Amino acid sequence: MKYQNILTEISDQIAIIKINRPDQLNALNKETIEELNHAFISSCENKIVRVIILIGSGEKAFIAGADIKEFANFSIEEGIRLSSEGHEKLFNMVEKLPIPVIAAINGFALGGGLELAMSTHIRVASENAKLGLPEVSLGVIPGYGGTQRLAQLIGKGKALELILTAGLISAEEAFQLKLVNHVVPQEELMNKCLSIANKITRNSPVALQAAITAVNAQYQEGKDGMSTEIEEFGKCFGTNDFKEGTSAFLEKRPAKFVRI
């Protein structure tokens, strides 16, 4: 697929996906969502890739939300489809990816932008970032998982305050609320993400996938977190990664894991 709205590159087992609509503050239109869906899936299919970093182009925005110009005249049915397709094609898909995704929040992360960051597994923000779910100021509510994931990450009370006030918070406030894991100066953002990614690339791909599945389970309807953990833990014992990881430890050498 030839991309019009995103850029991708792979180096040292790390895929970088960059949303490239800086003049529209990287707003997520339908085409960009399709391209991101394709880029995430094909990065995962590439067995060299162990971690994905998602960032916006320019220094102003990670993603300033869903593309308001595109949905301004939508009907109820179109609104439902926009939300459900977005959940399926991007937001839920990213959350459940078998390889970790790091959001490098390099500026505004608003509406769908914050929702996408919250679907990733680790969030790092630059000091200039502003985060929020301002949808109610537009007469709508967060529709890409924001009402659920924000409450999961920062608790129901603070989530409701942020959503109901449509307020924007600074990177530092987001850090205090545990909405982002780290805050760094903008020029250090990519290095910080790469340093986290490099630590992850040393670990067992099979175990990384199992850990994501187990942690996610608590938040999925019909799943039991502890039962999922027991099942995923047990499955690890039948893998080459487990043989390699334990042998390497006993032989006092670094483990060499291969993604299969």
Residues in contact with ligand COA, shown as a per-residue x/- string from 119 to 158 under the rule CB under 6 A = ---------------xx--x--------------------
Nearer to ligand COA, 132 or 205 (CB): 132
Pairing outcome for strands 14-19 and 6-11: antiparallel
Q: Which of 66, 90, 129, 183 binds ligand COA (CB under 6 A)?
A: 66
The 3-state DSSP composition of the chain as helix, strand, coil percent (nearest 5) reads: 50, 15, 30
CA gap 107, 129 in Å, rounded = 4
Catalytic residue numbers read 115, 135
* Closer Cβ to ligand COA, 100 or 134, answer by number: 134
Of the candidate residues 94, 108, 149, 209, the single one contacting ligand COA (CB under 6 A): 108
Q: Which residues pair with 170 in a beta bridge?
A: 130
Tell me the one-letter amino acid at 53: I
Burial (0-12, 13-18, 19+ Cβ within 10 Å), 197 = buried
User: In the set 6, 27, 183, 189, which binds ligand COA (CB under 6 A)?
Assistant: 27
Q: Which of these segments, 19-27, 84-92, 202-210, 237-245, binds ligand COA (CB under 6 A)?
A: 19-27
C-alpha distances in angstroms, 108 versus 23, 64, 127, 253? 13, 6, 11, 44
Stretch that binds ligand COA, among 89-97, 103-111, 215-223, 238-246 (CB under 6 A): 103-111
Per rule CB under 6 A, is residue 19 in the interface with ligand COA?
no
